[in-house]
Structure 1
């Protein structure tokens, strides 16, 4: 598993350094902590700020979503590891406009612990913080234990809606409530085709036989719900959608946003083939696709595979998903 790296122990710092230099018109590093990045664009006074974060290796998440219409800052951890409280706090102090900061992150033990610690430290600095935890992965826990589920690609829609709500002038609690509602209306499930490898080890993150795939695999290589022989794209899409349909209430005539997300090494050809079947399936059920996204939005290094995400939309959420965005790795006009 070949990689373009120098010292594997410095890969995160060198990535951040390159990113900040490549996109200096969008983003800047904070001198207080080199894992803390904030927007370089002017901000509206009094606007609620959005802070995202998580482990490296998921690019364009999370730093790729700092920009106009989405996040105001990001705290970056080691590969597949939560950022510690220090960079989270530094970003919080830098982006707060006096109206508070909303933390958005996935439901992983390290993230929950470190973002909670940072929120307590921010309160000591007289900064109001709301925290919203993404938990969209239907494969990671049963519906009655949804609070235990991982956050995967559906986090993208949480960022999208929260960023728009903040720009619309919603207050701190209202922005957080929009983010929680989006998470509640979002379901995802993925399939793994091939593993990734960490630069420090060079070893595969999991093992599959040559003609084998794994349904429900996590973004860090966490075990899924079953291994199975490789089938057609349509059959794989149907199995992912069946699990999502069983878990969320969708009625004929309702609108959804769809994300077919690549995990790092899956060609767009295959992702669009998957989306083709998603569109057919939803049409058969009388569900309208209001917005669609296909590509690498939250990855797992060079893992092969993809995930499907559906987010149910009401009229207010449609305005938020339509809101323009200008980030280094995501632009929507």
Structure 2
């Protein structure tokens, strides 16, 4: 259960305020947006890497902004995509002249809103590319890999893209590397119990205490199957077997590994599981490079974990090892501070131009919007109920907002 909050509707904004106050040496707020960016703004002449999605997944996404990783992160309400306007403002704020790569998990709201922001920025002359993360093997079969969700494998794609941008690669290369990392990344997750939104008394979903969900998504999307609780050794076997069955064509024997906690699984438990995972991977002849055990992509207070493998080659291994320095992830010696952008950034309008209240068309639009608002407010509980089975328990509140 989520215990610490004020007004639930303000949770995201207050979270970002506190994060920026605590880690101002790494990041700052994007003016006029629910987003954070690398302190001092983008590096002149370097590609900007913009990531994002709903809140409730920390360290993803805002905790991964800094040297060697993301230039900025756009954050929506809990488990809800940020708006196209927020994403657009962030793109403009980090425009260094070298273009931007947007990367995020493959979810409908994110695809729509980030896509609209990309189109708008492109129409204004900014070179923007998108790489969707599709690592969750439980969400679609191999022949439909492009339809898969993005879960903890987000991190390895962000890390590869961020390291490439940090060393000065052009946008074409940063995009190619991000796609390559995604193509070589596979994740499988499990859940033992559901998560609870701030202000709610009941979890978004429940799992029988004697059972577990295999393949459950990070927003509470249903798993592919429910099984009796497994021991750590049995769970390790299920995760490793599932991932190795989808080993990429031509992959070598070196992998980056992330054993990720979803929010309520203790680190000690993860290390118990890791010991069994390592034993099984070694038996398959795989070598681990820079394994990470901990929380990188969470789901509020969900009890569960996921295993991610990225099959490396020389290029991806170098990027995986590259230094990074962010609030939530640090590797190697901190990179030196860089000078902020000297050139004046493109102005972003704070709000739309005022409309003449005497305009008959404006009066009709205002009346229609007021009617829609009142109807959505009235039906908020029903809207939430209709989509709870899909894991979007905040749909009603999001529509009202």
After TM superposition, the score normalised by the length of structure 2 is 0.81
Residue 68 (structure 1) aligns with? 67
Q: Are residues 109 and 315 of structure 1, via their aligned partners in 2, closer, same or farther at CA, if it must alter by over 3 Å?
A: same
- For structure 1, which runs of at least 5 residues remain unmatched after alignment? none
Shift of 1:229: 1.0
Distance 2:251 2:114 in 1: 39
**Contact between 1:36 and 1:90, CA under 8 Å: does it hold in 2?**
no
Residue 87 (structure 1) aligns with? 86
Check if 1:192 corresponds to 2:191: yes
Residue 235 (structure 2) aligns with? 236
- For structure 2, which runs of at least 5 residues remain unmatched after alignment? 333-401
Shift of 1:28: 1.0
Shift of 1:3: 1.1
Distance 1:250 1:103 in 2: 26
Residue 339 (structure 2) aligns with? none
Shift of 1:250: 7.3
Deviations for 1:4-26, whole angstroms, at most 9, x for unmatched residues?
A: 11111111111111111111111
Distance 1:32 1:259 in 2: 34
**Contact between 2:152 and 2:296, CA under 8 Å: does it hold in 1?**
yes
Shift of 1:150: 0.4
Distance 2:2 2:113 in 1: 32
Shift of 1:257: 0.3
Residue 16 (structure 1) aligns with? 16
Shift of 1:31: 2.6
Larger radius of gyration: 2
Structure 1 segment 175-214 matched on structure 2, within 5 A: 175-214=174-213
Q: Is the deviation greater in 199-208 or in 217-226?
A: 199-208
Q: Is the deviation greater in 232-241 or in 182-191?
A: 232-241
Shift of 1:233: 0.6
Residue 58 (structure 2) aligns with? 59
Distance 2:107 2:301 in 1: 21
Aligned length: 332
Distance 2:5 2:320 in 1: 37
Deviations for 1:215-259, whole angstroms, at most 9, x for unmatched residues?
A: 000000100111111121110111111111111237896100000
**Contact between 2:192 and 2:209, CA under 8 Å: does it hold in 1?**
no
> For 1:189, what is the secondary structure of its paired residue?
strand
**Contact between 1:9 and 1:200, CA under 8 Å: does it hold in 2?**
no
Residue 31 (structure 2) aligns with? 31
Distance 2:102 2:253 in 1: 29
Deviations for 1:130-176, whole angstroms, at most 9, x for unmatched residues?
A: 00000000000000000110000000000100011112221111101
After TM superposition, the score normalised by the length of structure 1 is 0.97
Distance 1:176 1:290 in 2: 23
**Contact between 2:2 and 2:301, CA under 8 Å: does it hold in 1?**
no
Bigger share in strand:
1
Q: Are residues 219 and 122 of structure 1, via their aligned partners in 2, closer, same or farther at CA, if it must alter by over 3 Å?
A: same
**Contact between 1:252 and 1:287, CA under 8 Å: does it hold in 2?**
no
Distance 2:2 2:204 in 1: 14
Shift of 1:2: 5.0
Q: Are residues 152 and 52 of structure 1, via their aligned partners in 2, closer, same or farther at CA, if it must alter by over 3 Å?
A: same
Shift of 1:36: 2.0
Shift of 1:99: 0.7
